[in-house]
Amino acid sequence: MSGFAGIVRIEPSRESAEADRAAIARMAGAIAFRGPDALQEIHQPGASFTFSLLKTGPAPQESQQPCTIDGETWFLGDARCDGRDELIAKLEQHGASVSRSATSEELVLRFFSQFGSAALPELHGDFSFVLWIPKERRLTAYRDLTGARPFFYFPRKDVFSFSNTLQAVLLDSAVAKREYDPQFIGDFLLGSPYQDQERTVYRDIRRLPAGHLLEFSSAGVCVRRIGNLPIEDLLSFRRDEEVIEQYRKLFLQVLADHLPAADTTIFLSGGLDSTSIAVAAANLRKKPATEAPQNLRALTLDLQPVLEDQEAALAEQLARKLAIPFEVLHIGHILPFARKEEIVALLPEPVPWMYWKLHPYYFSHAARTSRVVLSGHGGDEILRGHGGAYLQHLARHEGYASAAAVLLRYVSSTRRLPVLGAGIRSGLSRLAGRTATQPMFPPWFTAEAERTLSLRDRFERIHTPPASSHPFNPRAYSILNGERFGAGFEDQDPTWSTAAVEFRVPFMDRRLLGFLLRLPPIPWFMEKELLRRAQKGFLPEEIRRRPKVPLRQDHLVLHVHTGQWRPLAPPVCSALLHSFVDWQKWTDSLDNVHRQLLHVNMRPLALALWLEAIENNE
């Protein structure tokens, strides 16, 4: 993902221009790692920009930014347009003359010129960019609903600095680097640092939430949500085969847009999602060379030598069938946290997982051979659903007999109850003596922090399922349409992985999600029925029929129980962290290595290590 950063001013002066030139030079250094193919600095009256280019293949891509088509509106950012033929046809219907080789940046500019900022969510693809109109001294920023491409900014009265790299915004000399956001820290210690999507760990720096539009002008900063998944009526098909055929056709179209004509790595597991992507990508590769990637590779992770699992063996079996190069990385040797000297480079913000070196390890490995990686992320959220709301919807609109018929048909064909989301299976598990793990409120908060930040109330809100207006698939809709879900893809960005490689998630394509959200959850989203049937004849039966398999044992617990790693004593902590954590209570709880408490107890340690490394580096 290419890097970009900028500073714009409503009322520039000679002195501010000199200061902005110096700041942009620093910001250019911070984004250079993202784009090894070019690094540029551009200065205009009242605006300074920098851009680092990552070429992702011969697909149309601007080599210089900011760019413009009319000299009035300038584009700076990261954009990948899908559905290009349909988009070009729409623009031509409105009088635009568009070349078939138009870059994604040009398409965005033409679309904005024709339809305005409110229509930006209609674009298919991945986006994080700004549009700067010098004559109006107005900047518009947009981040798509997927959230895979971040956007950070620092607003002041008449100055606005921004980047897709947090480290670059930190280099604005006006940012108070030691002023942390207490609410972010409280949520981090609760296990949900992105509960409020606009917050970062720094008080001054904001994050543009996924699906939001930002406007900066003399009137100030305005942020509003404009991106939402549609809510549409159920699709009706005469035969199941029609559903499968339409899904296959759409999935191939989506993957063709995501698959570049360049070296590509697939993060491959032994599950259904990534293997389905690998099969479709390999089939597309069989087309003429001009439409196919030069090389398609599979990269798999396993936990050896800590834990034996089937992932690597199943992934290798499929890779051999598809005749694509396969490699497995054993990650069991990677221990929690990182050496202090590595933390600053790895983590612009504290993160709630403990294996800080894991993402840089496998992303940098992929970057040796590829500029793009494909992932099966998102499949679980849309393809494994609950059927209770759907049955209620049928009962209301078609009568109880229709709902009962659907339920009985599913039970008779599968010999099992569908997942309803009504707690029936959980109740049966409790009767069998298997209790579900409940969220745990940390036992070591100071009374002052708990009271002043209303942490118990926030804990309840974090673990309360969000309301959903979707009539027959509310769970999937609330997850996929939520801002927090988009934040989950941020940690795959080079800001955290440190690797110059672009991360793409085909299952999060807006066109695909729109189709899937219109299908009846029973039977299609019970145990991924749609995906299993669509892959019949394509995937080995051992993979296609394989149930969802959680890890038998927790990675962190294994490292502790085998003596390879033990929780560390906290480093010298700042006064800020002492105001949140009662360290005596924390130390007393370390002897309890219950799986959930072990993870809860690692959050203060992670934050303490991060704060110490960041502050010692200044």
Ordered structural domains, the chain, with CATH: 3-170+205-225 (3.60.20.10), 240-382+474-544 (3.40.50.620)
- Please tell me the pTM assigned to this model: 0.93
- Spatial distance between the Cα atoms of 203 and 234, rounded to a whole number of angstroms: 44
580 contact partners, CB below 8 Å, separation of at least 6: 185, 186, 189, 445, 446, 449, 604
Q: What is the pLDDT of residue 424?
A: 47
As beta bridge partners, residue 445 has 581
Which two tokens mark 139? 């900047």
Task: Tell me what percent of the residues of the chain surpass a pLDDT of 70.
Answer: 93
For the residues 155-184, what does the mean pLDDT come to? 93
pLDDT at 582 over 80: yes
Q: Rounded to an integer, what distance in angstroms lies between the CA atom of residue 482 and that of residue 210?
A: 9
CA-closest candidate to residue 29, choices 55, 61, 5:
5
Q: How confident is the model at residue 433 (pLDDT cuts 50, 70, 90)?
A: very low
| Stronger pLDDT, 22 or 351, i.e. the higher one | 22
User: CB 135: neighbour CB atoms within 10 A?
Assistant: 8
Per-residue pLDDT, averaged over 373-382, amounts to: 91
138-143 vs 47-53, strand pairing mode: unpaired
Q: List, in order, residues 6 or more apart from 532 with CB less than 8 Å away.
A: 272, 544, 545
Backbone dihedral angles phi then psi of residue 53, each to the nearest 5 degrees: -95, 130
Contacts of 163 (CB under 8 A, 6+ apart): 3, 4, 5, 6, 27, 30, 31, 151, 152, 153, 169
pLDDT (tens digit per residue) in 300-358: 998 888 777 788 999 999 999 999 999 999 998 898 987 766 777 778 899 888 898 99
- Average the pLDDT over 144-173 and give the result: 94
Range with top average pLDDT, 73-87, 339-353, 569-583? 73-87
pLDDT band at residue 290 under the 50/70/90 scheme: very low
Q: Is 555 helix (H, G, I), strand (E, B) or coil?
A: helix
Neighbours of 214 (CB within 10 A): 23
What is the rounded radius of gyration, in angstroms, for the C-alpha atoms of the chain? Answer: 25
Residue 5's nearest CA partner among 118, 254, 124, 171 is: 171
Say if strands 372-374 and 264-267 run parallel, antiparallel, or are unpaired.
Answer: parallel
CA angle 103, 262, 295 (to 5 degrees): 165
Task: Return the structure tokens found at 346.
Answer: 């790895």
State yes or no: pLDDT of 161 exceeds 90.
yes
Q: With contact defined as beta carbons under 8 Å apart, do 185 and 580 qualify?
A: yes
The helix (run of H) or strand (run of E) holding residue 282 is: helix 272-285
Helix (H) or strand (E) holding 42: strand 38-44
DSSP letter assigned to residue 7: E
Residue 70 structure tokens:
């009319």
Cβ count near 256 (within 10 Å): 15
| Candidate from 72-76, 94-98, 220-224 with smallest mean pLDDT | 94-98
- Which residue's structure tokens are 């800590």? 306
Q: Decide: 285 and 261 in contact? Cβ < 8 Å.
A: no
Bridge-partner residues for 3, per DSSP? 52
The pLDDT score that the predictor gives to residue 446 is 96
- Cβ proximity of 20 and 9 under 8 Å: yes
pLDDT at 293: 47
Q: pLDDT confidence of 613, banded at 50, 70, 90?
A: confident
Could you give the C-alpha distances from 380 to 458, 480, 517, 534, in angstroms and in order?
26, 11, 13, 16
Distance CA 32, CA 38 (A): 8
141: pLDDT confidence band, cut at 50, 70 and 90? very high
The per-residue pLDDT for range 460-504, each reduced to its tens digit, is 998 888 788 899 999 999 989 987 777 778 888 998 888 999 999
Q: Model confidence at 425, in pLDDT bands (50, 70, 90)? A: very low
pLDDT at 552: 59
Sequence-ordered alpha helix ranges (H) in 529-594 = 529-534, 541-544, 555-561, 575-578, 583-589
- The candidate with the shortest Cα–Cα distance to 278, out of 289, 290, 269, is 269
- Position 199 scores a pLDDT of 94
Which residue, among 540, 1, 527, has the nearest Cα to 317 in the 3D structure?
Answer: 540
Q: What is the pLDDT of residues 93-114, one digit of tens each?
A: 999 899 999 999 999 999 999 9
pLDDT at position 328: 95
* Amino acid type, 246: Q
Q: Is the pLDDT of residue 595 over 90?
A: no
CA distances from 36 to 3, 57, 561 (A): 10, 14, 42
Order of strands across the sheet with 372-374?
Answer: 326-330, 296-302, 264-267, 372-374, 502-504
Q: If we measure between CA atoms, which residue out of 483, 528, 515 comes closest to residue 385? A: 528
Cβ-contact 300, 329 below 8 angstroms? yes
Mean pLDDT, range 128-136, rounded to an integer: 97
pLDDT of residue 554: 78
Give the CA count within 13 Å in the CB-facing half-sphere of 93: 7
Cβ(551)–Cβ(332) under 8 Å?
Answer: no
Point out the least confidently predicted range of 61-70, 218-227, 283-292. 283-292
What is d(CA 342, CA 335) in angstroms, rounded to the nearest whole number? 14
Q: How far apart are CA 54 and CA 608, in angstroms?
A: 34
Mean pLDDT of 441-459: 95
Q: Is the pLDDT of residue 295 over 90?
A: no
Element of type H or E holding 379: helix 379-383
- Above 90 in pLDDT, residue 553? no
Return the residue matching tokens 């992770």: 301
**Which residues lie closer than 8 Å to 392 by C-beta, 6 or more apart?**
403
Nearest partner of 480 among 493, 463, 468, 491, judged by Cα: 468
Query: DSSP 3-state helix, strand, coil percentages of the chain (rounded to 5)?
Result: 45, 15, 40
Share of the chain above pLDDT 90, in %: 65
Confidence of residue 364 (pLDDT cuts 50, 70, 90): very high
Please report the pLDDT score of residue 560 as a whole number: 84
Report d(CA 276, CA 117) in Å as an integer.
35
The mean pLDDT value of the chain amounts to: 89
| Residue 168: C-alpha distances to residues 4, 5, 26, 427, 493 (Å) | 9, 7, 8, 50, 14
